[in-house]
Structure 1
């Protein structure tokens, strides 16, 4: 007996067969989507791990250089050197579609292309370690932005994988089995009705045949009676 209430009619059977075909096609497409998303997700996670390791190592370099520069320069001189930034940054965001998931794409552009324009101070009164720290920070900032982009992509793909997994399980363990049960139930009922109809027709045929035989016997008896009287 199916878990859903159905009318055992041929029209309902046709509708359910169409629903089953659609559910099976959807199940296959969603499984393919889930598998491809999982592949993309794992590649993204590996990229996140590699980028994070690079960023952490370069941030340690920046921290070490700033620490040495702080030791070699007074706090007032260090603050004055970094007070007025020379380079401006423009950040734009677009999206790209990965298996129906819109992931962010960040574009980082500086006001000028020259790497020398990142130093907002003169070199005479500052430490060389400060130059190293500023240069390393400018480079690691791009990687940090890329890391944020990739991590957000991984998060969005993980959410989509979970949604797709739930849909696949709903189709595989609920919709398709219930529809198959309903089809079997209707088919069984229609077969029972066909057998019952066949049985009734056979009984009617037997009754009509028996009636015909009785009528023929009666006519034969009447003819024989008239023959005797003659």
Structure 2
């Protein structure tokens, strides 16, 4: 429902100013949305490829582990996994794209030499090394996916939020202000027309009064 407004020149000027601001805001949101979508498309392609690669790597690593356990039993791999537990240097930095913080994960070397994994070289064999190498590859790809997926999720949320605001301005705020502007203009035009008619009548009456004998 249209709010009650005073049909005055000042209100007409105020509506025109608000329309201009709303249109500028809508256009800025459109530009921001375009930038966000461009980054979303770029990262979205990367994250899909990375997830597909990760899925294949996980499947291959699981299959290799299953075969190794079938041959050597579970205990050697449990012991090796426990001994090989070690931290990986990871740092997270962000960059801003249209106000959205894009996450980029920088990590140290995930793959390790056989002598650097912490387990006994005497108590393990080539299958243990192969399994360890394969799961190091899984971890490396998992860290790559983590930053991409978080960034894509943030972009998607911000695109949706920006679209809602843009649509509100374009389909609600601007049309309402335009309708109010038109309404005020019509009232002012009607008043001006009435004033002209009234003035003509007064002039005509004065003319008749002035020429009356």
Q: TM-score when scaled to structure 1? A: 0.83
1:116 CA displacement: 4.4
CA contact (8 A) 2:114 2:129 kept: no
> For residue 13 of structure 1, what is the aligned residue in structure 2?
12
Structure 1 residues 17 and 24, CA gap change in structure 2 (3 angstroms): same
1:53 CA displacement: 1.1
CA contact (8 A) 1:101 1:156 kept: yes
> For residue 174 of structure 1, what is the aligned residue in structure 2?
172
5+ residue gaps, structure 1, are 218-230
CA contact (8 A) 1:86 1:118 kept: no
Q: TM-score when scaled to structure 2? A: 0.89
> For residue 53 of structure 1, what is the aligned residue in structure 2?
52
CA contact (8 A) 1:106 1:145 kept: yes
5+ residue gaps, structure 2, are none
> For residue 159 of structure 1, what is the aligned residue in structure 2?
157
1:140 CA displacement: 2.2
CA contact (8 A) 2:115 2:121 kept: no
CA contact (8 A) 2:69 2:77 kept: yes
Deviation string, structure 1 residues 18-51 (Cα, Å, up to 9, x no partner): 0001111111121222233223222222212100
Q: Which has the larger radius of gyration?
A: 1
Aligned partners of 1:162, 1:10: CA distance in 2, in Å? 38
CA contact (8 A) 2:111 2:136 kept: no
Whether 1:38 and 2:6 are equivalent positions in the alignment is no
> For residue 101 of structure 1, what is the aligned residue in structure 2?
100
CA contact (8 A) 1:87 1:118 kept: no
CA contact (8 A) 1:69 1:127 kept: no
> For residue 63 of structure 2, what is the aligned residue in structure 1?
64
> For residue 118 of structure 2, what is the aligned residue in structure 1?
120
